[in-house]
Amino acid sequence: MRVAGREILLAAAETSSDGLGLPVPAPMADIFAALADFRLAKDLYGQLTHLIDRLARQPGGAVLRQHLTRKTEHGPERFDCAELHASYQKALAAAPYSSYCPLCYLAHPGFSHPDCKLCRGQGWTTQSAFESCPENYRREMFNALGVRQLELVA
C-alpha cells in the first residue's frame, strides 16, 4: 500500500515541532503527531482535485462536469468541486498549530483553562486561533518561553 507507507514516513518525520517551529512539549506529542495525517490529507486532497478535473475532461465525466465550476486562478483552467474545496479548507484549518495557548500559558504554565476562549481548554491552538490572539499576548508568551520571534518558522 503506497499511501500507508507514505503515511508511516510522514508520521516519523513530523512530530517534533509545532507550526511555529517550537519543540512540542511531551504532553502535546500525541496531539501534534496528527500533523502527519493532516499533511497526508493535504496531499490526498491535491490528488483528488486533479483526479476530478481529469474525470470532468473525459466523455464519461459529462454528468460530473455539470456539478463543477471552472477555475482559472493559479494556472490553466480546471474543473473545481466547491464541496471538495470547502472540505479541504475545513480540515486544514482544524490542524494543531501552536503547542502553547498564549492565554493559558501566561495565566498558569502547564494548565489549560476549560473556559479559555482561544484554546477551549485544549492547551494548543489552530493557526487562525493563534493569529486571532492579540499580538501583545503572543509576544509575552514567546518572552516567557525564552524564544525570540526571529527564531520562529512563522
Residue placing its CB nearer to Zn ion in the complex, 79 or 130: 130
Nearest residue (CB) to Zn ion, 49 versus 99: 99
Asked if 124 and 31 count as a contact pair (C-beta separation under 8 A), the reply is: yes
Interface residue list for Zn ion (CB under 5 A): 101, 103-104, 116, 118-119
Q: Between 41 and 116, name the residue whose CB sits nearer to Zn ion.
A: 116
Nearest-approach distance from CB 130 to Zn ion, in angstroms: 11
**Phi and psi, residue 80, nearest 5°:** -130, 140
To Zn ion, the closest distance from the beta carbon of 124 in angstroms equals 8
User: Shortest distance, CB of residue 126 to Zn ion, whole angstroms?
Assistant: 12
Considering beta carbons, is residue 52 or 118 the nearer one to Zn ion?
118
The least distance separating Zn ion from the CB of residue 46, rounded to whole angstroms, comes to 32
Q: Which helix (H) or strand (E) holds 2?
A: helix 2-13
Contacts with 94 (C-beta within 8 Å, 6 or more apart), sequence order: 126
Kind of pairing, strands 78-80 and 69-71?
Answer: antiparallel
H or E stretch including 132?
helix 127-132
